[in-house]
Structure 1
């Protein structure tokens, strides 16, 4: 897994980034992707948002992430939520998990598939899934609609970090279906919905600091300068509390066949 140094921003990530809303968990349960008692491997777990969400709903979960700071934060949060008996976190890579063959019912990649070597990660997911097991790739993205706080924030990120190229997203990822098919998965399904996430201005600033283009990429001084400018922009243009930020949840899944690996 390559990309930002998420350990630089683990504190903001754990405190300010909102996880998937409850409706997401209802969706994957209704579609037969998830059920209590499943053995789940959460790739690129970050601070364990989805891993903890699934553990709270009855799964046995292992979360892997290459960033030590993220794993430490995930463990603290799981302990605080009383979930340490159901979820554990280890440093590890999506492409080489070190897990046994056919050990899991569900492999999840939430908000992270684009950081992986996708072909290797898909092949590894197939290897560690039992026959009939599911690979689930999901995203929870803000929508930069014109005139919105997310739209204005993206322009500010680009001004401070011209190398950032992740703006103007739509929240849809059709290429992930090809990744699954090439790796030998079948029975493709997908779902999603739009919803409004409410952020205080303080939390929105923390959310953006904990993003790939800011805290994951810039040095602390540059992050501080960005944050000060974002605070000024919010005061001037978006003074209401809370900020209402449109988001899109996108989920796509497929099953490992009953044949050999």
Structure 2
């Protein structure tokens, strides 16, 4: 599956979508996946949220993304956060990074693995990793429980985009273990936790406008109509501000031995 066209939505994506919570980086450090001084490659980096998080904790990171708008946004954000020396970004594909053999200690994919040809991406990660390095795949998903704002938002997305098939998620991705095993990764590990993400009403609307089912799939006029209906839905059913949206962090990794 190819990446959606994020060129029209990168501003919303960067401004409104929350990155991984700090607990993810604590989990990675606990399992020796993250430590100061490592070289990391972030596949499908988007606006560089995960890459910048790793860089802020001492890693040197190259983020790759096929969308020029995403690369430009990631570069601007890294500079604004004082991370330009540790986090750089370039156009590139997960399946064909054009990076040297055995040049990274950690390869990561955050919120992106499902967009790749997973077998090719896993094999490419194996190629560019040094012995003792690891491939880490992680996701940070809202959890649509009956009656909550994520559940209601998914129904609205489906009403506007019947082809969207990414709803009703649980935040768990056990099939990715097979991707790692088939590529030769060993000593697979899993981790994760639930996290109550707080969104202002404006940020939740921006988050959804930037999602694959809305901004990544609809024309501008359709996105505007959707956003108007989402605003009305929030006013009618979810009066609190900020909204508390349950999320789940899921991480799986394997080592190159």
C-alpha displacement of 1:3: 3.0
SS at match of 1:108: strand
SS at match of 1:190: strand
**TM-score normalised by length of structure 1:** 0.98
Which ranges in structure 1 are unaligned for 5 or more consecutive residues?
none
Question: For residue 32 of structure 1, what is the aligned residue in structure 2?
Answer: 32
C-alpha displacement of 1:7: 1.5
Question: For residue 119 of structure 1, what is the aligned residue in structure 2?
Answer: 119
Q: Are positions 1:197 and 2:183 aligned together?
A: no
C-alpha displacement of 1:239: 1.1
Aligned counterparts of 2:70 and 2:232: Cα–Cα separation in 1: 29
SS at match of 2:9: helix
Q: Are positions 1:214 and 2:195 aligned together?
A: no
Question: For residue 176 of structure 2, what is the aligned residue in structure 1?
Answer: 176
Question: For residue 150 of structure 1, what is the aligned residue in structure 2?
Answer: 150
Aligned counterparts of 2:243 and 2:137: Cα–Cα separation in 1: 28
Which ranges in structure 2 are unaligned for 5 or more consecutive residues?
none
C-alpha displacement of 1:8: 1.7
Question: For residue 110 of structure 1, what is the aligned residue in structure 2?
Answer: 110
Aligned counterparts of 1:116 and 1:179: Cα–Cα separation in 2: 11
C-alpha displacement of 1:4: 1.3
C-alpha displacement of 1:144: 0.2
Q: What are the superposed Cα offsets for residues 143-176 of structure 1, whole Å, 9 maximum, x if unpaired?
A: 0000000000000000001110000000000011
Aligned counterparts of 1:65 and 1:3: Cα–Cα separation in 2: 9
Aligned counterparts of 2:217 and 2:68: Cα–Cα separation in 1: 16
C-alpha displacement of 1:98: 0.4
After TM superposition, where is structure 1 displaced by more than 3 Å over at least 4 residues in a row?
A: none
Which range is displaced more, 98-107 or 28-37? 28-37
SS at match of 1:13: helix
SS at match of 1:146: coil
**TM-score normalised by length of structure 2:** 0.99
C-alpha displacement of 1:132: 1.1
RMSD: 0.6
In the alignment of these two chains, the number of paired residues is 257
Aligned counterparts of 1:236 and 1:109: Cα–Cα separation in 2: 37
Residues 83-98 of structure 1 correspond to what in structure 2 (within 5 A)? Answer: 83-98=83-98
